[in-house]
Amino acid sequence: MKTSLTVVDLYASAREIKSLVGRRVENIYTTSSGYLFKFSGGVYLTVNEARASLTGTVGERDYRGAETLRGLIRDERLTDVYLPRFDKLLVLKFSDVELVAELLRPFNLIAVRDGKVVWLDHHYRGKDREVKAGAPYTPPPMPYVDPLARAEEAAEVLRRAQDVKRALSRELGLGPEVAEEVYARSSGDAEAALRALRDLVEEVSSGQLRPTVYMAGGVPVTVTPVKYISVRAELEEEYDAFWKALDRYFADVELRKAVELKTAELKAKKAKLEQSIAKLRGEIQEYRKRSEELYSLAKTMLSLKYELEEAMQAILRNEEIGASIRILDVNRTSKEAVLEHSGLRFKLRLDRPVGRQIEEVFEEAKDYARRAAKAEEALKRLEEELARVESERAEAERAVAERVRKAAERAWFEKFRWFLALGRVPAIGGRDASQNEAAVRRYLKDDYLFFHADVPGASAVVAKPTQDEAALLELAQFAASYSRAWRAGIHAVDVFYVPGRQVSKQPPSGEYLARGSFMIYGSKNYIRHVRLELAVGVRDDGGVRRIVAAPPKSIAALAERYVVVTPGSGEKSRVAKEIARRWKAEQLIDEIIAALPGPSTIGEWGSGQPMGWDEIKAAFSTW
């Protein structure tokens, strides 16, 4: 079963990753097995010990561990993606930093600037090289002949080989799966094998893909970027993108690793409890057995008390005793004697009354019974603790699984703040000055409407034409909420709107307009004392969970669950955590933070019946 990408897989994946060239890195997270990169447009790239590929699955992630890497390439645009040689090395190139993913053992991710290591996942020292911060970067040595760069030498290796398949796998570095496929495509011919390999690499590098997951017993056994004639399986699943096939194949593996990492401590605790429980059960059994043996002995001694006393007296007087009791041993130094009756042995002291010794045996039997009872109480507590730990472990597994979500590439309007006003009037708003500029330049038509809070520092909201007063009020409320007034703790502001033809980037002669600023020519329409109030909601579109924000009257048509917020003193991160906890949507906390206009107070919680995502896209498609 495949545990990581082959070199051919990596060529195919690199081809798909190249679609990110020109996009910015918005964030970087650590995961249980590596790193997750979020690019502009809501596209994710996963890089870990098993694969480097686009992904639509976002699972357990953390900000910790990637702080320095974020500082190096966050907001940087990807400029190139390539494999430097026929090896499991992938280079992601940014303006002045190259990120090298070594999908080898051990896995490493290394940031290189001007040939030197400026950040790395972990320090490595081996007999061949050392990788550490500040040192020149040296790629790992190739323990085989590069079949693409050193074709003649590779051909000679195959001509000399007694086993062509083995030579392809080990001496040319193809690995078993690709070697099998090349061998099958070349019919085992040494001369044709290199041509078959070059054709295969060219096929996947040029994007002629037919991604396939091969199943056996309902379980994926391997995944390839094109159909492999060498692979036989009970069932084949084809996908329209290689990364989707990789998600299908590796999702369970990565989930299991995340679960193992999350539950490692609980697993160790469980093992320790199980060991203690097994030991206690053994002790309880032994205590009960010993108690029963001693009770039986004490009862027998009590029934023979008279005979035993006579035997003791006879021993002390050196006289013979009756036939029912037999003397086996007498130690006068230690003052002990071993007697037997009907096969049962008694060890008695000669200097103490028989009755007292029988009482002591009864007490010892009771002591073992008490030990068994205490051990049973302890066992009950341990079993309760084990049940609690098992419940915690199951809950942790469930939580990890719940945090795995599908990610989808964003529609054009999702780059902005967006919502549908009453009457399904589509509207977008800039998240910053740059987006304000883009919203007006690209999407504001002459008869469309431009809304802006009557304060400096606000989102420029652009909407399709409407004369509905309720819709106009909602558009004004959206513009008011995403303004500096929210952060200032103001609860109502004036908002103006004008048709697009009155908005211009052309300043009066001799003046200058900053980025995101506009000139308004002609009279403005004002909506006075607009209340700053916003609803933030979550929706699920076939496993793709999205955070949406809209005025309270429109949110029920856009979200399944929502909360109304107003300007307040609660920090965005704290409020977002509370919302995420309530919705069990911790994996969406970044999106919730981004949706909140500023410090907030949580108000009403509610639920809605949202329209389908296709309906929303259809509303914006008429833009």
Domain positions in the chain: 7-136, 151-246, 269-395, 417-622
Whole-structure pTM value = 0.63
Are the C-beta atoms of 327 and 311 separated by less than 8 Å? yes
What φ, ψ does residue 257 adopt, rounded to 5°? -65, -40
The sign one gets for the Cα dihedral 404, 408, 409, 415 is negative
Instruction: Give the pairing type, strands 449-453 and 344-349.
Output: unpaired
What φ, ψ does residue 382 adopt, rounded to 5°? -65, -40
Rounded Cα distance between 355 and 361, Å, is 10
Mean pLDDT, the chain cut into blocks of 10 residues (623 residues total):
92 96 94 89 91 87 88 95 97 97 95 96 92 95 94 93 94 95 93 94 93 90 95 92 92 69 79 90 94 93 90 85 81 91 88 93 94 92 89 75 62 94 96 91 96 95 97 98 96 97 83 79 96 96 90 97 97 95 88 95 96 95 91
Q: Is 499 helix (H, G, I), strand (E, B) or coil?
A: strand
Cα–Cα distances in Å, from 370 out to 280, 282, 297, 359, 361? 14, 15, 18, 16, 14
Q: Is 458 helix (H, G, I), strand (E, B) or coil?
A: strand
Residues in the chain: 623
Tokens of 192: 């044709």
pLDDT at site 346: 86
The sign one gets for the Cα dihedral 238, 240, 243, 247 is negative
What φ, ψ does residue 419 adopt, rounded to 5°? -170, 170
DSSP element (H, E) containing 607: strand 600-607
pLDDT at site 258: 65
DSSP element (H, E) containing 250: helix 242-303
Rounded Cα distance between 105 and 89, Å, is 12
User: What does the buried/exposed string (b/e) look like for 268-292 if buried means 16 or more CB atoms within 10 Å of the residue's CB?
Assistant: ebbeebeeebeebeeebeebbebbe
Rounded Cα distance between 254 and 246, Å, is 11
DSSP element (H, E) containing 277: helix 242-303
Please give the radius of gyration of the chain, using alpha carbons only, rounded to the nearest integer.
Answer: 38
Rounded Cα distance between 243 and 41, Å, is 17
pLDDT at site 405: 57
* Amino acid at the residue 399: A
Give the single-character DSSP code of 188.
T
Are the C-beta atoms of 38 and 76 separated by less than 8 Å? no
Cα–Cα distances in Å, from 432 out to 38, 48, 483, 507? 19, 33, 10, 20
Q: Architecture of 7-136 per CATH?
A: Roll (2.30)
* Amino acid at the residue 206: S
Q: Which residues lie below 8 Å from residue 224, measured CB to CB, with a gap of 6+? A: 8, 9, 177, 181, 211, 212, 214, 231
Instruction: Give the pairing type, strands 52-55 and 108-113.
Output: unpaired
